[in-house]
Amino acid sequence: MMRTMTLRKLRASRRRGSSAASEDATGGTGSRDERKQRTRRALLDAALELMQGERSFSSVSLREVTRSAGVVPAAFYRHFSGMEELGLALVDDSFKTLRRSMREARAAALPATHLIRRSVETFLGYAHTHRHHFQFIAKERFGGSSVIRFAVRKEVHLFTSELATDLARFPLAGKISTEDLQMIAALVVQSVMMATEAFLDMAPNEPDDAAQLYQQTEKQLRLIFIGAQGWRSKPATRA
């Protein structure tokens, strides 16, 4: 709870100094709009960075964000009405990159059976290269403000729906109703997300735990597909 540098000193060393501000975005070239988008991204990135490791989104302050974006607090309001709006923008960003990755993976023509493995692989790839985005999602899926929480859930739901339509292309999916496919997809997404989150904040010097986690998750997926194989949807009881 102690800062070593006073506000004044920090601000004095800001212009092209960048000693403490990690994401300085002011200055530079480009059209007015480009420059604006740049500091907007600086704010988003700063917020994401600040929650790495120990903190939750709701514990990150507006001033902290502007500080490490290299901008004065008041400037924040030129981009967002408050932290909640920034949070929603982060949800958007995170899923935009995720969906892009998955769409590319899907684009490669599929031998059906390898499709799941490929999907899981690209998902893990996403989680690895965009780990900040993923960890943000993982945290805000349960914690924090309800509006952000629901935004995340809506996106996750959409994501599982896409997986469900992929599953429908499977040969042995004939006996399974679309509703049940959705339920199976939810189970898969759940497991993979959980495992990924656990994996990401594991101590990197304990590779044994990581291997064990990976094996367990693979087994879980296999068990789910065995279950799906034996599944028989009741003829939809609809009124």
Partner DNA sequence: AATTTCAGTGAACAGTTGTTGACTTTCATT
Partner DNA sequence: AATGAAAGTCAACAACTGTTCACTGAAATT
Alpha helices in 108-206 (DSSP H): 113-129, 131-140, 146-168, 178-200
Say whether residue 140 binds its own copies (CB under 8 A): yes
The letter for the amino acid at 103 is: R
- The distance of closest approach from Cβ of residue 161 to DNA in the complex, given in angstroms and rounded to an integer, is 35
Rounded to the nearest 5 degrees, what angle is found at the Cα of 144, between the Cα atoms of 92 and 184?
A: 65
Count Cβ neighbours within 10 Å for each residue of 150-172 and write b for 16 or more, e otherwise: ebbeebbeebbbbbbebbeebee
Q: Which of 147, 132, 149 is nearest to 51 (CA)?
A: 132
Say whether residue 25 binds DNA (CB under 7 A): yes
Selected binder of its own copies within 92, 104, 201, 209 (CB under 8 A): 201
Q: Which does 158 bind (CB under 5 to 8 A by kind): DNA, its own copies, none?
A: none
Say whether residue 220 binds its own copies (CB under 8 A): yes
Report DSSP state, residue 74: G
Cβ nearer to its own copies, comparing 114 with 153 = 153
Say whether residue 154 binds its own copies (CB under 8 A): no
**Footprint of its own copies (CB under 8 A):** 53-56, 58-59, 138-146, 149, 153, 180, 182-184, 186-187, 190-191, 194, 197-198, 201, 216, 219-220, 223-231
